Amino acid sequence: MKRYSIAVFFFIFGLAITGCAAPMAPADGAMEMEEAGPKVLVVASSQEPENLFIMWGSTRTGSDAMSFMWRKPIAFNGDNQPFAEILEALPSQEDGTWVVDEEAGTMEVTYKLRQGLKWADGEEITADDLAFAFEIYSDPDYIYYSESFPVKSIEVVDDYTAILHYGQINLFPEQEVRTHIIPEHFYRPLWEEAKAKGGNPWENFGNIEEVSIKPLVNGPFQVAEWVPGSHIRMVRNPHFNIGPAPKIDEVLYRIIPDLNSLSVSVASGQVHLTDGWLSLEQAASMDSAPEVDPIFVPALWLEHATIQINRPPLNDKRVRQAMLHAVDREAINEALFKGQQPPAHSWINSAHPAYNPNVPVYHYDPERALELLAEAGYTPNANGQLADGDGNLLEIPITTIAGDRTREQVAALIQAQWQEIGITSEVNPVSARLLFSETLFDPPNFEGIAIWRWVFNAKVEPRSWWYPGQPAATLDQLFAEGNPWAENERNKELIDMIDAELDQEKRYALLQEQQIIWAEELPVLPIYWHVRVATVNTALQGYQPADQAMVGWNVEEWGLE
Amino acid sequence: MIPTVFIITVAVFWMLKLAPGDPLDLLLAGNPDMSPEQVAHIKRLYGYDRPIYEQYGRWLLQVAQGNLGYSRIYHRPVTSILPDRLWNTLILTGLSLVLSLLVAIPIGIYTALRQYSILDYLFSFLAFFGIAMPVFWFGLILILIFSVQLQWLPPGGHYSLEQGAGFFTATRYMVMPVLVLSLFSMASWMRYMRSGMLEVIHEDYVRTARAKGLAESMVIIRHALKNALIPMVTLIALSIPGLISGAVLTETIFSWPGMGRLIYDSLINNDFNIAMAVFLIFALLVALFNLAADLLYAFVDPRVVYT
């Protein structure tokens, strides 16, 4: 009898488990859909949004989640073009809504709001809401307060008209996505209360549930529940009238921190959409899931190597040029990225109209690399290692982010190819925290190169990146006075001219000249352009990604089959 | 106990602050619109620019007033986040503890009594498999089989994903995480139980009990098992604080919002208020359960007497 007791125990235990394991519907939300219940869109991210207040977002996951709930005066669409979302039209010089005073160096931009638009509580959206958002923006207690924000004041003309007074000439008022609109009638009392409370007013304001967790919004969806670490459930905003009423009933924004688990959830049909979280490799593995379409969205994310440009050997541009010639970036693209992430030749993406197709291109050419290095004084020693006349080896260490598999692979390939021509190199992986603090900044503390990513926007403004003395940001000390790049007068001159030029075509021509200097000097080594990987379940219709557009910019047009 | 907890909090606070960088450095690196001036402004707002002792003093004063502060990640009071997370973790780890005990103790006894039998070899093999199997890999394999291939169970997430989830729905979300979490303890406790039983069943007092003509079940339960359980009590008591701290890997693989992930996220994001509150609770629990384990000895082992 006892002999069978264990077998009986396991039998009962097995029954209990299989009893719970009822056959499963394709998605958590889809389960409800099959029962003709609400249509639930499941979107997944590997990071938790930090908050859901439109004036506070700083991470991509936060912006993604907010894109289902907030609408702005100006936004970007799926063709990477700005469009008037709450405004009647984009400001333009032709219709007099953008007036430049070149003598005074100032300008005025008129925002005309569409009439009859509503907040989620049914109150109307007015110009006072725009002015109130600016009032917070201009308050030194605001978290992202900046004296350099170009708009200096907002004048409310009537309920639907406001004039933005710029303290300087700004080339892109029709692309100004930093102007926000928040419901004044709802948030002013909370803001005043936060200020009256003492201490840090922004912290007091941000800790209010109606600000950071359940904000009063104007987009197609609003927060119904946020379970930290699990999901945000968004339901339809009953008063939404900025666009058509959404076809789906709920958005379930899931947080799945482990990327393998996220990938499996996509493959098993549990998640309809991920945007920018999975790797190319994981997207490629979706071949076995016919109901999942991987989409590769060209992005203005430049994978590059920051260089110790102030010290030998990398203060010599011939060495920098040789380093690029010695790396087969096309082969890296094919081997690691299945041809999706092409080599970068400039700081402007080749798909951008300002790109100069005639910039010097550093194709894989080890012999040319050796010639350049010989000109710079580095020749092979008896061991085949490149060394200068005093016998000092040409050493170029590579710093990259530990645990980032792709970057570690790229670094290893670069190291191997440099070693082939005699450059001594080693890979130093450091944690992201260390790289973005003591290694790159405050002040830079590394030798050789450091591989990481810069995110550009479509406005292609070179000043903050390539003008010595500007925030360039934060890496300014790498472009310190004394190195040839920092002292390139023509580069500075061109950037001054680019900033003053209002004609787009002329501006692009100046940018093209600046790119030639840049590519000749190579202040950083461009490696490749990233793509953003999205995975879309075939049940989802209408999703239209673009680099500049927020994920849910047109969610009201999406449908679920 | 209080000085121990105090020293732990000082050490943890100091170590947290020693870690290089803060979340703002990451913002600065990836956001071209964020100027160093704005970053400096935010650092001032959050007090990152103040000396460590001053930051610790402010935290301690706050805690003394019963206020654990606000989470910088979740923008809610720490006291409103911890209960849900703790509950989620307790469900998961509590069930895995019960399952581990229900499986490990009977099998441990059985394999000791039937040493070198086929089932003993089989369970030994399974125990070594459980000890050697990486949690991460085992979890993913289960997901691939039960979620992707068979589509029986959800691949992860919390049952609150489904509105109005009942007992069976909730159970479906917990089957795989509980199995994965209990695998290691089930396997190792099975081996402890087996060796504990093997040690005592050859003792003189067990032979005497048999010689007295007691039924075999009485000999095993009242004489052998009671003594074999003594080391198990220590093991279980010391594993309870671990239950509260959650299981980072299991919670991460199955997207389960428990304490393990909360700690991990708070450390990665420098959410000091959460991290400090959690470590404070852990320090108290470890001290408390060590004391409980000592007291339990007196209960299970009559030779131990506290005077």
Q: Which of A172-176, A362-366, A406-410, B80-84 has the lowest mean pLDDT?
A: A172-176
Give the mean pLDDT of A49-58. 86
Report whether pLDDT(A36) > 80.
Answer: no
Whether A464 contacts A472, CB under 8 Å = yes
Q: How confident is the model at residue A66 (pLDDT cuts 50, 70, 90)?
A: very high
A473 lies within 8 A of chain B by CB: yes
B246 lies within 8 A of chain A by CB: no
In this structure, how many other beta carbons lie within 10 angstroms of the beta carbon of residue A244? 11
Q: Give me the pLDDT at residue A24, please.
A: 47
In this structure, how many other beta carbons lie within 10 angstroms of the beta carbon of residue B160? 18
Q: Which of A10, A15, A28 to mutate to test the interface with B (most CBs of B within 10 A)?
A: A28
The domain spans of chain A are 1-70+219-291+538-561, 72-188, 298-529
What secondary structure letter does DSSP report for A114?
P
The domain spans of chain B are 2-64, 82-300
Do the chains contact at A261 and B45, CB–CB below 8 Å?
no
Of residues A283 and B41, the one with the higher pLDDT is: A283
Q: Give me the pLDDT at residue B109, please.
A: 92
Q: How confident is the model at residue A71 (pLDDT cuts 50, 70, 90)?
A: very high
Of residues A351 and A27, the one with the higher pLDDT is: A351
Provide ipTM, 2 decimals.
0.74
Q: List the single residue in A48, A231, A268 with the smallest CB-CB distance to B73.
A: A48
pLDDT digits (tens, 9 = 90+) for A398-410: 999 888 888 999 9
Q: A392 CB contacts (<8 Å, ≥6 apart)?
A: none
Do the chains contact at B84 and A227, CB–CB below 8 Å?
yes
Q: Give me the pLDDT at residue A219, please.
A: 97
Q: Give me the pLDDT at residue A338, please.
A: 86
Report whether pLDDT(B23) > 80.
Answer: no
A177 lies within 8 A of chain B by CB: no
B192 lies within 8 A of chain A by CB: no
- The percent of residues in chain A predicted with pLDDT above 70, rounded, is 90
Do the chains contact at B253 and A258, CB–CB below 8 Å?
yes
- In angstroms, what separates the C-alpha of A388 from chain B's closest C-alpha? 35
Do the chains contact at B252 and A257, CB–CB below 8 Å?
yes
Give the mean pLDDT of A498-504. 86
Q: Give me the pLDDT at residue B31, please.
A: 54
Do the chains contact at A6 and B107, CB–CB below 8 Å?
yes
- In angstroms, what separates the C-alpha of A421 from chain B's closest C-alpha? 33
Q: Over chain B, what is the mean pLDDT?
A: 83
The pairing of strands A40-45 and A250-255 is parallel
Class at the top of the CATH hierarchy for domain A72-188: alpha beta
Do the chains contact at B161 and A270, CB–CB below 8 Å?
no
pLDDT digits (tens, 9 = 90+) for A450-487: 999 888 888 888 887 888 766 544 566 667 666 677 77
Give the mean pLDDT of A147-160. 89
Report whether pLDDT(A3) > 70.
Answer: no
Do the chains contact at A206 and B84, CB–CB below 8 Å?
no
- In angstroms, what separates the C-alpha of A197 from chain B's closest C-alpha? 15
Decide if domain A298-529 falls under CATH 3.30.70.1150: no
**Could you tell me the fold of the domain covering B82-300?**
MetI-like fold (1.10.3720)
Q: List the single residue in A13, A203, A230 with the smallest CB-CB distance to B160.
A: A230
Q: B118 CB contacts (<8 Å, ≥6 apart)?
A: none
Whether B154 contacts B68, CB under 8 Å = no
Give the mean pLDDT of B194-201. 90
Q: For residue B163, which residues of chain A lie inside 8 Å, CB to CB?
A: 233
Q: List the single residue in A59, A178, A227 with the smallest CB-CB distance to B160.
A: A227
Q: Give me the pLDDT at residue A29, please.
A: 45
- Closest B-chain CA to A255: B255
Q: List the single residue in A21, A233, A260 with the smallest CB-CB distance to B140.
A: A260
Q: List the single residue in A31, A252, A265 with the smallest CB-CB distance to B156.
A: A265
pLDDT digits (tens, 9 = 90+) for A277-299: 998 888 888 888 889 999 998 88
Question: Between residues 334 and 373 of chain A, which touch chain B (CB distance below 8 Å)?
Answer: none
Q: How confident is the model at residue A442 (pLDDT cuts 50, 70, 90)?
A: low
- Closest B-chain CA to A288: B148
Decide if domain A1-70+219-291+538-561 falls under CATH 3.40.640.10: no
Q: Is A74 helix (H, G, I), strand (E, B) or coil?
A: strand
Report whether pLDDT(A445) > 60.
Answer: yes
Q: Give me the pLDDT at residue A475, please.
A: 60
A15 lies within 8 A of chain B by CB: no
Give the mean pLDDT of B241-260. 82
pLDDT digits (tens, 9 = 90+) for B51-107: 888 888 888 888 888 888 888 778 788 888 888 888 998 889 889 989 999 999 999
Question: Between residues 252 and 281 of chain B, which touch chain A (CB distance below 8 Å)?
Answer: 252-255, 257-258, 261-262, 265
B160 lies within 8 A of chain A by CB: yes
This prediction's pTM: 0.81
Give the mean pLDDT of A504-528. 94
Q: Give me the pLDDT at residue B9, please.
A: 83
Give the mean pLDDT of B18-36. 59
pLDDT digits (tens, 9 = 90+) for B117-138: 999 999 999 999 988 988 888 9
How far apart, in whole angstroms, are the C-alpha atoms of residue A21 and residue A23? 6
Give the mean pLDDT of A250-270. 91
| Amino acid letter, residue A379 | T
A465 lies within 8 A of chain B by CB: yes
Most confident of A184-193, A486-495, B20-29: A184-193
Give the mean pLDDT of A229-241. 95
Q: How confident is the model at residue A425 (pLDDT cuts 50, 70, 90)?
A: very high
Do the chains contact at A261 and B140, CB–CB below 8 Å?
yes
Q: Angle, to 10 degrees, between the axis of helix B167-201 and the axis of helix A2-20?
A: 160
Q: Give me the pLDDT at residue A481, please.
A: 63
* H or E element, residue A274: strand A273-275
* H or E element, residue A529: strand A524-537
Q: List the single residue in A26, A213, A256 with the smallest CB-CB distance to B75.
A: A213
Q: For residue B70, which residues of chain A lie inside 8 Å, CB to CB?
A: 203, 207
Q: How confident is the model at residue B169 (pLDDT cuts 50, 70, 90)?
A: confident
